[in-house]
């Protein structure tokens, strides 16, 4: 529970951050049980799911295969105010489970969302076709979400 309840963001403000921010830190449980955080780009579908793309192999994938629990932190704003010795920030922390998509529909949905977010208005069919054999799509199913801002 947050100490300063006035600092809670509304659900609409939380969703806006997830829809507009361009990166966040995905925190996973490492294979030895320790925390592992990695900066990633992402796309939120507006319905409780966050999509990521990944290489087929690597430390992140090993962690996900070992334990699907995760946390994802996105900072939507961070304005440093030196004369006040503070920063005015807006952030969202999501908790849930992450999984590797195996169904073609979910894979395409995730890739299209990511393409639309980072390359809006550009036909992404060729790029998606090029990467399909060597990319994984990950989906975080949101179980809880909390947003906070410095006011």
pLDDT in tens, 29-63: 999 999 999 999 999 999 999 999 999 999 999 99
Say which CATH number the domain at 26 has.
2.30.110.10
140, 98 Cβ separation under 8 angstroms: yes
Tally of domains in the chain: 1
49, 140 Cβ separation under 8 angstroms: yes
Backbone angles phi, psi at 57, to 5 degrees: -125, 155
Q: What is the pTM of this model?
A: 0.91
Find the domain containing 15 and state its range. 5-149
pLDDT in tens, 60-112: 999 999 999 999 999 988 787 888 888 888 999 999 999 999 999 999 999 99
């Amino acid at each position: 529970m947050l100490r300063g309840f006035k600092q809670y963001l509304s659900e609409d403000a939380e969703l806006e951050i997830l829809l507009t921010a361009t990166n966040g830190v995905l925190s996973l449980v490492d294979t030895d049980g320790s925390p592992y955080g990695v900066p990633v780009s992402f796309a939120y579908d507006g319905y409780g799911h966050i999509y990521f793309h990944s290489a087929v192999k690597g430390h992140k994938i090993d962690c996900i295969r070992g334990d699907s629990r995760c946390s994802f932190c996105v900072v939507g704003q961070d304005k440093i105010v030196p004369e006040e010795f503070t920063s005015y920030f807006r952030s969202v922390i999501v908790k849930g489970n992450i999984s590797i998509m195996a169904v073609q529909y979910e894979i395409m949905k995730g890739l299209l969302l990511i393409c639309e977010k980072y390359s809006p208005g550009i036909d992404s069919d060729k790029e998606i076709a090029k990467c399909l054999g060597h990319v994984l799509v990950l989906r975080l199913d949101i179980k809880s979400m909390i947003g906070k801002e410095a006011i």
